[in-house]
Amino acid sequence: MDAELQGYLRADGKKGIRNYLLVVYLVECARHVADRIVQPYGENGVQLIGFSGCFPNDYSNRMLRRLCTHPNVGGTLLVSLGCEGFDRHSLQKAIANSGRPVQTLGIQTTGGTRKTIEAGQKWVGETLKILQNVPSCNLSVDELVVGTICGGSDATSGITANPAIGRCLDILVKKGARAIFEETGELIGCENIMADRAATPGLGEEICNTVGKAARFYTTLGHGSFAPGNADGGLTTQEEKSMGAYAKSGNSTISGLLKPGDFPQKGGLYLLDVIPDGEVRFGFPNINDNAEIAELIACGSHIILFSTGRGSVVGSVISPVIKVCANPETYRRMEEDMDIDAGKILEGRATLDEVGEEVYEKIIHSASGTPTASEALGHQEFVLTYKTFEPLGPACFPA
């Protein structure tokens, strides 16, 4: 199905599939006020994101710049306590330069909790009217960016949902879209296989180095991506889980390597590195699904494909999450939370190719405005933590 989609045209030329207004807290001390500002507008496309830390961090600044100027975002209200370390002035300037409406409210200077909530709700109400006039535009499949992740994996994930998503990514890449897979910590052992698929030998070397970094990160912290819930679901080894996660990448040539906030400049398949650079720091929390979803969105993903066998229910702010359920028993038990029943492959009711095509068609429907299961249930999870990343080298973006 190659329908011409209808999107939202931003002043900076980006095309989105949703038209959200963000309220962003810039320190945990401002979270309550920001949440209260959002509450009356939760059903009107207003979403809450933010950064809890007080100490400044280049990664969090870069992430919020990318998220607040994402194609699916039409405007932003920044909520500051007033004394945190976040560079709110540069963030506001970046949003304003994108042509989106933006305002910053400082709780200390505005006069406290109640006055800031009132001022924020007034601005949000006025700005929602402005967003109603955002011009529509045609959006083709080759302009889409689609990210993929897995969570709550079990023994069925690597043989149904993950390879079906891989088939879907192959369809997207053939049509000129940008597809992003990640979880380098769950790809340990697959680095040489991925290197063989890289567009250039230099990129292949970078992929091996990236997965090696992930292995060192988990070894130093004393834990890996293999969780007790995975074992309860029938996964037996790290190698088994890695190969299952790898199956989400499909069979296309790997065109480049990204870090959070890097945008793929042309159609193709990209690997996203989510493991911090530099010395392993124990203050950096373990990688988690919603932090990785936010990083995929910061790379421009309009839509996220989420594979699960045990039955993860999380969604996300900004970009719709499509749940592809690997286990037929999980699907029957949690059908309201799932979009695609990939478990029917296991029961002989469909092939991998057929489910891959079904996932692709679900992307088209979602991009056309049909809510996903997590959207319909109101899921708007968001996580942003401290990390450190170094800029990518030229080998990561082969011409």
Boundary-marking domain end, from 137, 157, 188: 137
Boundary-marking domain end, from 115, 137, 159: 137
Identify the domain containing residue 351 by its residue range: 141-396
Whether residue 132 sits in one domain with residue 146: no
Summarised one tens digit per residue, pLDDT across range 269-295 is 999 999 999 888 766 556 688 999 999
pTM for this prediction: 0.95
Whether residue 346 sits in one domain with residue 256: yes
Summarised one tens digit per residue, pLDDT across range 7-32 is 999 999 999 999 999 999 999 999 99
Whether residue 102 sits in one domain with residue 31: yes
Whether residue 112 sits in one domain with residue 89: yes
What is the structure's pLDDT at 153? 75
Summarised one tens digit per residue, pLDDT across range 200-226 is 999 999 999 999 999 998 888 876 665
Summarised one tens digit per residue, pLDDT across range 49-104 is 999 999 989 999 999 999 999 999 999 999 999 999 999 999 999 999 999 999 99
Whether residue 119 sits in one domain with residue 39: yes
Q: Is the pLDDT assigned to residue 227 strictly greater than 50?
A: yes
Whether residue 151 sits in one domain with residue 110: no
Domain count for the chain: 2
Q: Is the pLDDT assigned to residue 1 strictly greater than 50?
A: no
Distance of CA 105 to the CA centre of its chain: 27
Confidence category of residue 238, pLDDT binned at 50, 70, 90:
low
Whether residue 351 sits in one domain with residue 337: yes
Q: What is the CATH number of the domain that holds 67?
A: 3.40.50.2300
pLDDT more than 70, % of the chain? 92
Whether residue 188 sits in one domain with residue 132: no
Boundary-marking domain end, from 118, 137, 156: 137
Whether residue 94 sits in one domain with residue 190: no
